[in-house]
């Protein structure tokens, strides 16, 4: 595993993180806790030190109890707390696939205390505003975060799904360490942000780096997902014609003695972006981590980008279609 500086360099993370959302939320019924314990421990043993969760990543267990992702992550990383970087988020509640935003100062203060308790820690390494709140100026959010940093409750902060305007406005009040936006071979909408992030020393963390699993090449238009528990049942990338993209990935994977997922992640890391793919399976975790050992030259990355510019592909879940 490779390790890189987050933001201005005060925090060091593994070049690839583990997105923990799917263990309790959005990708089927919550997984068996003992199996997820093994998975999280295995991730750490294999070199991952960057773990991503959120207060709103909740699921319902078969007995009706709520499965809290933060509680799961916090409990299983307790013995490694000084060796890992935990990122969590505030400001969003889920109503099916609809997001309800609330980043009022009093909500943030309540949220951070709740996350600290669920994670079983006295500080959060990286605290994201999960989505911009149209009713609360980002400067007000940044001011509240600045107070929390001074209080020692968080070390650094970021924003998820953010544009250049709000990055600059927030950074002036309280310097941002990272942003977490959607990015994958199927969704390159935020590439114009790269010079801005370099200028301000902000790390780009990519959620959904495998387009919700589609870029693993393990699914097709015939794949069936649980309509109650699994959001993928309505995602357009699993229903559209994306064979040309998959063919490209398979060809490169064959050349590099790797897999489509590994090429997708290696391509991203070569750009300096930190992917946080999620999984419930040890085999998939091992595959994802293997991407850190694949080297793509600048020329190879450019060639992939040029090909992506010409490939016909479907829309992607909650994304802008790249023309």
Tell me the mean pLDDT in the region 153-174: 98
Tell me: the pLDDT tens digits for 210-249?
988 789 877 766 666 565 555 665 666 767 788 899 999 9
CA distance 257 to 253: 6
Tell me the mean pLDDT in the region 100-108: 97
Tokens of 294: 């694949």
Which stretch of DSSP H or E encloses residue 204? strand 203-207
Residue 323 lies in a domain: no
> Domains in the chain: how many in total?
1
Parent domain of 77: 3-310
Q: Average per-residue pLDDT in the chain?
A: 91
CA distance 45 to 30: 23
CA proximity to 310, closest of 323, 299, 297, 321: 323
The pLDDT of residue 31 = 78
Residue 128 lies in a domain: yes
Residue 315 lies in a domain: no
Tokens of 293: 């050992």
Is residue 323 very low, low, confident or very high in pLDDT (cuts 50, 70, 90)?
very low
Tell me the mean pLDDT in the region 12-19: 97
Strand partners, 11: 6
Kindly list the distances between the CA atom of residue 307 and the CA atoms of 181, 186, 253, 271, in Å, as whole numbers in the listed order: 23, 12, 15, 16
Residue 322 lies in a domain: no
Q: Which of 87-96, 117-126, 276-285 has the lowest mean pLDDT?
A: 87-96
Which residues form the catalytic set?
A: 57
Q: Find all residues with CB under 8 Å of 269, minimum gap 6, and list them.
A: 2, 15, 16, 275, 291, 292
Residue 219 lies in a domain: yes
CA distance 187 to 315: 9
The CATH number linked to 220 is: 3.20.20.100
Residue 19 lies in a domain: yes
Tell me: the pLDDT tens digits for 59-72?
877 777 888 999 99
Residue 318 lies in a domain: no
CA distance 38 to 179: 29
Tell me: the pLDDT tens digits for 164-200?
999 999 999 999 999 999 999 999 999 999 999 999 9
Tell me: the pLDDT tens digits for 260-310?
999 999 999 999 999 999 998 999 999 999 999 999 999 999 999 999 999
Residue 320 lies in a domain: no
pTM: predicted TM-score of the whole model, two decimal places: 0.92
């Amino acid at each position: 595993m490779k390790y890189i500086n987050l933001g201005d360099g005060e925090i060091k993370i593994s070049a690839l993180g583990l997105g923990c959302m799917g263990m309790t939320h959005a990708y089927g019924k919550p997984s068996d806790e003992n199996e997820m314990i093994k998975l999280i421990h295995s991730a750490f043993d294999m070199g991952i030190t960057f773990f991503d969760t959120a207060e709103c990543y909740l699921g319902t267990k078969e007995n009706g109890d709520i499965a809290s992702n933060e509680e799961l992550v916090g409990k299983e990383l307790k013995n490694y707390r000084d060796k890992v970087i935990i990122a969590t988020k505030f400001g969003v509640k889920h109503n099916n696939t609809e997001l309800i935003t609330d980043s009022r100062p009093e909500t943030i203060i309540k949220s951070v205390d709740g996350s600290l308790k669920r994670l079983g820690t006295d500080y959060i390494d990286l605290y994201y505003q999960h989505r911009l709140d149209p009713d609360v100026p980002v400067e007000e959010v940044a001011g509240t975060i600045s107070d929390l940093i001074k209080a020692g409750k968080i070390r650094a902060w970021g924003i998820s799904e953010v544009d250049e305007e709000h990055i600059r406005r927030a950074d002036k009040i309280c310097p941002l360490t990272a942003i977490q936006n959607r990015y994958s071979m199927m969704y390159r909408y935020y590439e114009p942000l790269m010079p801005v992030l370099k200028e301000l020393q902000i790390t780009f963390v990519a959620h959904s780096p495998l387009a919700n699993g589609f870029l693993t090449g393990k699914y097709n238009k015939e794949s069936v997902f649980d309509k109650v528990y699994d959001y993928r049942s309505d995602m357009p990338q699993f229903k559209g014609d994306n064979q040309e993209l998959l063919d490209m990935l398979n060809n490169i994977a064959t050349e590099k003695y790797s897999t489509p997922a590994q090429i997708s992640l290696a391509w991203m890391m070569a750009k300096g972006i930190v992917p946080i793919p999620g999984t419930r399976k040890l085999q998939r975790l091992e595959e994802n981590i293997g991407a850190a050992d694949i080297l793509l030259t600048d020329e190879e990355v450019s060639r992939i980008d040029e090909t992506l510019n010409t490939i016909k592909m479907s829309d992607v879940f909650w994304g802008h279609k790249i023309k």
